[in-house]
Chains A and B, each alone.
Chain A
Amino acid sequence: MIGMDALFYLEGVRYQSILDIPALQINPGITVLLGASGSGKTTLLKLLNKSISPTSGSILYTGSDLKKTPSVSHRRQVLMLSQQAAMFPGTIEDNLAIAFQFQERAAPDAEMMQRMLAQVQLKKELSEPVLNLSGGEKQRLALARVFLLDPAVFLLDEPSSALDDDTADAVIGLVVEQARATGRSIVMVTHSKAVASKFADETILLKDGQVVRRIQNRGQEAGS
């Protein structure tokens, strides 16, 4: 049956007048959503983590209908990083720890947190107040936060928009590498065709709320 081995399967999904997707399969691995602003990329991500629900149609996640899945437990598995992730008052450590409080889990130790900061190339002390961070540093901290939570699927909305090209390349590269190594999937929104061709197993092209093309990247193994 269609959609059983898919990560997500969308059928007849409409969201207001923003999105209209008759059918779409998103496979495990690294998927990039590409399109101009206003093409519905972010809306699609929000639908996938049940931040919003489709006006009509249904979305399956690993074969089960999202309508019947409790939202909070779904969001803990399919974690979304919004484009401008908010920071909570306090230090870097507070901002990493609070995510675990939200999920009612024990926070990892300082060493683990520092390792994750290093991975996103954020050279800051855990005790640094987040107020002192620049836009790019906050974005990397937000990325570290979701990776520390280690969900099954990452939904990343323009995770490198506030980073310069070199840093973006390096950070996204590391993040993709870690996801591949641990068998996690990523659905990533971006403007950048370079990011898409470099990292994606599959690229989905959106225009005016519709899927116009799907491109398999032959250079890579289609995800695990």
Chain B
Amino acid sequence: MSGAVQLSVWQVVFSYLFVLLVLAIVRKRGIRREREILLASVRMSIQLVLTGYALTFIFAHPSPWVTLLIIATMEGFAIFTVFRKFKGQLSGRLKKTIAGAMLAGTLSCIFYFLLVVVQIDPWYDPQYFIPIAGMLVGNSMTGISLGVKSLVEGMSLQRHLVEEALNLGATPRLASREIVNSTFDAAIMPTINAMLGMGVISLPGMMTGQILSGTVPTTAVMYQIAIMLGILGSVALTVIVLLHFGYKTFFNHDDQFFPGGCRKYCEK
């Protein structure tokens, strides 16, 4: 292992030249984004420095409780982000379904991946747990967001087809079958497209990072293959749980349809 070239503080300071360059360009062209660019650069720097110190500390003092706390925080943020993105469009039942789908889909894949595929020891080893959990949770969050968007829009835009199907004697499951199928498609396609282009159009971030830090490319590739399959599984599982229970939140116990989600007296 050759190890990574250590970047000194001064070397990093040189990279801020990019920011100055961008600032100069936007100022000259009168695009009023100086504030945002500066804020984003400063925030990114501070957040990453703090994360760096936090991770160093956590890696030095591995504890199952800290690992569990971190995964809980990740899940919480991911679920909350989805709620905020669709503010006002989600019924209480759909929110519960989203939370349940995220937890079931990601946690099962995280533990399977770490304990069966990578076989880390101890199970809570933060050096593996945190980055891998982060990747699975992050990708599943993107997947479920696309899924929720497609489901909510499908139910409202195609309400006449769902209503017609019910009129013709369909069960809620049959009446929403097309929407559910296209939702699965919408949620899973970005992951599949990423896999198709991988190694040709893009070198994935995790693999690039490992190579930069001195891992031989073949090892990095093995990790990348495994993590991509893990991501695929996690996204698919999350979306399947969402869809299996999610479409039902648009119907009440009398199989009556609510295009905006059933909000009152809906439990079976």
Binding site for B on A (CB under 8 A): 49-53, 70-72, 75-76, 79-82, 84-86, 88, 98-99, 101-104, 145-146, 149
Contact = CB atoms under 8 A, between A and B. Distances in A.
Given A71-B254, A76-B169, 12 more contacts: A50-B254, A51-B166, A53-B256, A71-B255, A81-B167, A82-B163, A86-B163, A98-B165, A99-B168, A102-B169, A104-B174, A149-B168
Contacts of B254: 50, 53, 71
B222 interface: no
Contact of A85 (B164, B169, B170, B255): B164
A50 B170 CA distance: 13
Name the residue among A82, A86, A101 with the largest chain B CB count within 10 angstroms. Answer: A86
Nearest to A53: B254
Main SS of chain B's interface residues? helix
Contacts of A101: 174
Interface in B214-268: 254-256
Q: Kindly list the 5 A-B residue pairs having the minimum CB-CB distance in the complex, ordered from nearest.
A: A102-B170, A76-B169, A86-B164, A71-B255, A86-B160
5 contacts: A70-B255, A79-B169, A82-B167, A86-B164, A102-B175
Given A52-B256, A53-B254, A101-B174, A82 B164 contact: yes
A127 to B, nearest CB: 21
A79 B167 CA distance: 6
B163 A103 contact: no
Given A86-B161, A86-B164, A72 B171 contact: yes
Interface magnitude class on chain B? 10 to 19
Contact of A102 (B165, B255, B256): B165
Nearest to A75: B169
Contacts of A82: 163-164, 167
Contacts of B170: 72, 102-103
Contacts of B161: 86, 88
A215 to B, nearest CB: 28
A103 B168 CA distance: 7
Contacts of A149: 168-169
